[in-house]
Amino acid sequence: MYGWTHWHDATYVGPQVSVSGYVLKASIGWMAAVNDRKDNHIQVGVGFGF
């Protein structure tokens, strides 16, 4: 990361869908900050485990 940054605490809420096979797990979700409607993003996750 380059340049100045501004870190702050945020609480996010939103729906998430996940699927799980025997080993592979995947999820996708949309998250929005509770205190800032403009702060939202999509989160994608992939993992392995039992």
CA angle in degrees (0–180, nearest 5) for 42-48-50: 125
User: What is the per-residue pLDDT across 1-50, written as a single tens digit (0 to 9) for each?
Assistant: 467 777 778 888 999 999 998 889 999 999 999 988 888 999 999 999 76
Give the pLDDT of residue 7: 77
Give the pLDDT of residue 47: 94
For the chain, the structural domain boundaries read 12-48
Phi, psi of 49 (to 5 degrees): 160, 180
- pTM for the predicted model, two decimal places: 0.61
Give the pLDDT of residue 44: 95
